[in-house]
Amino acid sequence: MSKSAVPEGRPPAFVYRHEVLHCERAPLPDLAQKHGTPLYVYSATTIRDRYRTFDRAFRGFPHTVCYSVKANPNLALLKMLAGLRCGFDVVSGGELQRVQHAARKAARRVVFSGVGKTAEEMDAALRAGILMFNVESESEMAALAERSARLKKRARLAFRVNPDVPAETHPYIATGLHQHKFGVPIDAARRLYERAAREKWLEVAGVSVHIGSQITSVEPFGAAMERVAELVRALQSHGHCIRYVDAGGGLGIRYDAQELPEFAEHVKAFAKAVTRPLRGLGVHLLLEPGRSIVGPAGALLVRVLYRKSNNGKSFLVVDGAMNDLIRPALYGAHHEIVPVVRPHVEERDIVDVVGPICETGDFFARDRALPPVEEGGLLAILDTGAYGMSITSNYNTRPRAAEVLVEGKRARVIRKRETLEDLLRGEVQ
């Protein structure tokens, strides 16, 4: 393990200084002492740097980066990204309201995705004047036409097409094959565009695609864009004004020792694969990164409650649980786990890092080699800036963790820790 970064090759959001892990220049033991654990900690500098790296990679092509709000919807992060002129990809009326709350004028840079938009959500988006709806079925198109006519507000739309392109990722987050619930068959798209063009209050404006998440190879993105480009040419030749192509998101990050290029080089390769098929079509490219922007910027701090051994099987029982970070239980996802205070020993213990919830699936790691950590010691679960806090729950009546945003030495709470009173407030006896 590097003396400067954790682990080697990751961005410098979390750095050991004198054997103590810091977020930027804030010591994590101090944050845990002040704010308690479990605690989500984010690096503001890392988020800004990764957004700018992504944006620069596409500077040779007209584009808007639309951050995927579902990755981490904290208002402070949305406000920070809006200040960089970032757009947003939302999948619910609640996410749209978050964007509007963080930066009212940012609604004009919002694309609304998702397979199950309600009439109320459509109305809210129409009134907000969003950039575009990504429509996922013929029935949804009919509902959008009805709502836009009722409000007399024109709805700009793209159909999300399913290119039937396989992507090497977990099956729960693959979305680009015909058996998945997302999108419309690319071969049926021309008929749907023809029908949409006949609706007075609908404006055919783009083509959308998203093949999945945590995809670490750029080749599937290029293959999907080849199919999209063919469709755009066909639609334009039939008189449709296709001005936007939404390439979705899905670019993966490095959670473990897998070999990935340095982030800037990886995004450049992604940009090349995506834009090459679209050149000459006169379209504005929309991109929906989430994980690749915020994932490596976050860590979940947990404290070891107990060390335990069952017939030679060793456990570290920590105060965080699957309700705080469900990815390992849900996907079998790997997250690097490191001691916050690094011991001066070479030995490693083979342990399961588990939480207190009454489920065997409540674990963060199994059979993981870690330096010895005593009861009361702190662990940092890395790369939890995306799909960490956003998928938390109150299972076992556990209040959700606090969130802290760090910039340099300064740390501020951007979500207060929930209390039991918060959990009980809405219930009626």
Integer Cα distance of 331 and 334 in angstroms? 9
Adjacent-strand bridge partners of 110: 88
Strands (E), 294-362: 298-310, 313-318, 337-339, 349-354
What is residue 256's predicted lDDT score, i.e. its pLDDT? 76
Residues noted as catalytic: 358
- For the cut 80, the answer to whether the pLDDT of residue 260 exceeds it is no
Q: Which amino acid is at 347?
A: E
First to last CA, the chain: 54
pLDDT band at 166 (very low <50, low <70, confident <90, very high): low
pLDDT band at 5 (very low <50, low <70, confident <90, very high): very low
- For the cut 80, the answer to whether the pLDDT of residue 180 exceeds it is no
In sequence order, what are the residues at sequence separation of 6 or more whose Cβ sits closer than 8 angstroms to the Cβ of residue 65? 51, 54, 55, 58, 86, 87, 287, 289
Span 14-43+296-424: which CATH code? 2.40.37.10
Q: Tens of pLDDT along 354-401?
A: 999 999 999 999 999 999 999 999 999 999 999 999 999 999 999 999
Integer Cα distance of 332 and 367 in angstroms? 13
Q: Tens of pLDDT along 128-150?
A: 999 999 999 999 999 999 999 99
What is residue 182's predicted lDDT score, i.e. its pLDDT? 59
Span 44-295: which CATH code? 3.20.20.10
Same fold yes or no, 14-43+296-424 and 44-295: no
Strands (E), 128-280: 132-135, 155-162, 184-185, 202-208, 244-246
Q: Is this structure's pTM higher than 0.75?
A: yes
Alpha helices in 9-128 (DSSP H): 28-35, 44-57, 75-82, 93-102, 119-128
From 46-50, 64-68, 79-83, 256-260, the region with the lowest mean pLDDT? 256-260
pLDDT band at 214 (very low <50, low <70, confident <90, very high): confident
Pairing mode, strands 26-27 and 39-43? unpaired
What DSSP assignment string belongs to 209-251? Answer: ---BSSB--SHHHHHHHHHHHHHHHHHHHTT----EEE----B
- Domain-wise residue ranges, the chain: 14-43+296-424, 44-295
Average pLDDT, the chain: 92
What is residue 169's predicted lDDT score, i.e. its pLDDT? 42
- For the cut 60, the answer to whether the pLDDT of residue 4 exceeds it is no
Q: Tens of pLDDT along 112-130?
A: 999 999 999 999 999 999 9
- For the cut 90, the answer to whether the pLDDT of residue 27 exceeds it is yes
DSSP secondary structure code for residue 341 in this structure = B
Q: What is the mean pLDDT of residues 412-419?
A: 98
122, 99 Cβ separation under 8 angstroms: no
Integer Cα distance of 160 and 89 in angstroms? 13
Q: What is the dihedral of CA 230, 236, 240, 242, to 10 degrees?
A: 70
Q: What is the mean pLDDT of residues 246-267?
A: 84
What is residue 259's predicted lDDT score, i.e. its pLDDT? 55
